[in-house]
Each structure stands twice: as C-alpha cells, then as structure tokens.
Amino acid sequence: MVHLYIILDEAGDMGFSKGSSRYFVMGAIVAKAEDVKKIRRIPKKARGKLGKKKKDIPELKASKSNDKIRKFVLDELYKCKSAHVSAVYINKANTYGYIRENSFQKAVHYNYLARVLIVESLKSYLESIGYTSDKALTVEIFLDRYHTTKFRKKNLEEYIRKMIRDAFPYEVNVLVHQKDSQGEPLIQVADFVVNAFYRKLNGKGNLLTKFESSGRVLKFKQIY
C-alpha cells in the first residue's frame, strides 16, 4: 500500500485592484505518510528558535518570519526524505477580462489551478517513486479552510476526488481535509513552501536550492 499526503497553500491574491499582488501562486508538499509526523513537528521546532515574546504566537507564518526561520523550516522539511515540493503560478497581468470581472469564472479558474497542481504533482511523484497500480493507493489532501471558503465550489471535496479519479486509470482512495491553518501544522509548513516559490518569483532570494539540486521540485509551472 502507498499512502501519500498532498498539502496545499497559496501566496499572493486573486484580486485585481491597485494594491493586489503581481503573481498568484499555489504550492504543495507531497510526502509519504511515514514522514507526516515529522512534518507536523516542524512549526514547534521553529518556535523554539524565536524569542520569548514570539514563542507563543498562535500560528507560524512565513510572511511574518525572517530568513533564518524560513530557512530553518525548509531545511527541516528537506530532512523528511519523502517530501517533494511543487507550485503553479499566474502572472495576473495576463488574466483574461472575463475572469477578472466575474466571481464565478474566478472560482472556476481557481479550481483549474488546483487541478493542474494536484494532478500533475501526483503523477510526477508516483513516477519518481516507481509506483505500480498493483499496490493500493490512498491520497490525503489538506487545504486551508480560509482559502477554500472564499473560492469554494459547493461540493469541493467531491470535485477533488473526481478530478483525481478521472486522471488515473486505476482506483485511488482520496480523502480531503479542510483545516484551519492555525490548528494544522502541516498547512503552516506548506505556507513556508509556497512563500519560498513566491519570493523566488519576486526576486527575493531562493531558499529552495536543496530541493532543486536533489530533484525534489516536482513542478514550478507558469500557467500564463
């Protein structure tokens, strides 16, 4: 049996006002179940590196951390041997007008980005580990509830299950979890991953070199 986790988060925004971000990035960690406990412990370890005043913050956020903490979190994730990272992004200047001006189309577009990231990352990961369909496959997907409530299809969980099952010619057991990032350390670590891709796009350094040099970046793809 092969049991995998895909943990999603995003950086930037889907807005088009003057103060909106240039890029919208959706990123993921893909890892085997055997490493999930280690990944969940990373935020607690990182808090130990903070001063007394910040040690008890309710949620560890990459955007509010310094490079030392960002690097520490990614280095700890890298130590989890099965963990790979992935991202897709858009340059919002290239977004069609009908998407910009229609909230329904924006939601459809958001779901399309999620589909590309999840399906293509999963295919690449299964290929990298030499997966064969004679083994049972379970995939658990974790999403930040904050994001999914903003752009959610009515039946988001069934939508994700269907898009995975349609993409593979064999049975995949899919479990979807919508969690509050403040209470789910996995999503907090994914926040640091997508932040690293986002900062790289914006010319603010590259903390993903270890993953890149070891072939553990499954995808970094511009959709447009």
The model's pLDDT over 197-208, given as tens digits with 9 standing for 90+, comes to: 999 999 999 999
The model's pLDDT over 33-45, given as tens digits with 9 standing for 90+, comes to: 999 999 999 999 9
Range of the domain at 180: 2-222
Both structure tokens of 23: 């890029």
Q: How many CB atoms lie within 10 A of CB 142?
A: 22
How confident is the model at residue 54, as a pLDDT? 62
CATH number of the domain that residue 214 is part of: 3.30.420.10
Average pLDDT along the chain: 91
How confident is the model at residue 52, as a pLDDT? 66
How confident is the model at residue 129, as a pLDDT? 97
Cβ distance 128 to 161 under 8 Å? Answer: no
> What are the phi and psi torsion angles at 184 (to 5°)?
-125, 100
- 152-156, 182-186, 210-214: which has the highest mean pLDDT? 210-214
Rg (CA), the chain: 17
Distances (CA, A) of 216 to 125, 210, 221: 9, 8, 14
How confident is the model at residue 20, as a pLDDT? 84
> What are the phi and psi torsion angles at 210 (to 5°)?
-65, -45
The model's pLDDT over 68-95, given as tens digits with 9 standing for 90+, comes to: 999 999 999 999 999 999 999 999 888 8
The model's pLDDT over 108-131, given as tens digits with 9 standing for 90+, comes to: 888 889 999 999 999 999 999 999
Both structure tokens of 117: 């990231």
The model's pLDDT over 126-179, given as tens digits with 9 standing for 90+, comes to: 999 999 999 999 999 999 887 654 545 456 788 899 999 999 999 999 999 999
How confident is the model at residue 86, as a pLDDT? 98
Question: From edge to edge, which strands make up the β-sheet containing 137-144?
Answer: 173-179, 137-144, 2-12, 23-32, 84-91, 217-222
Both structure tokens of 197: 């891709």
How confident is the model at residue 56, as a pLDDT? 65
Q: Rounded to an integer, what distance in angstroms lies between the CA atom of residue 133 and that of residue 184?
A: 31
What is the rounded average pLDDT of the residues 5-21?
Answer: 88
Q: Rounded to an integer, what distance in angstroms lies between the CA atom of residue 37 and that of residue 76?
A: 12
Q: Rounded to an integer, what distance in angstroms lies between the CA atom of residue 215 and that of residue 85?
A: 10
Displacement of CA 20 from its chain's centroid (Å)? 21
How confident is the model at residue 71, as a pLDDT? 98
Q: Which uninterrupted H or E stretch holds 4?
A: strand 2-12
What is the rounded average pLDDT of the residues 204-214?
Answer: 97
Helix axis angle, 36-47 relative to 185-201, nearest 10°?
80
| Number of domains the chain is built from | 1
How confident is the model at residue 53, as a pLDDT? 60
Q: Rounded to an integer, what distance in angstroms lies between the CA atom of residue 102 and that of residue 177?
A: 28
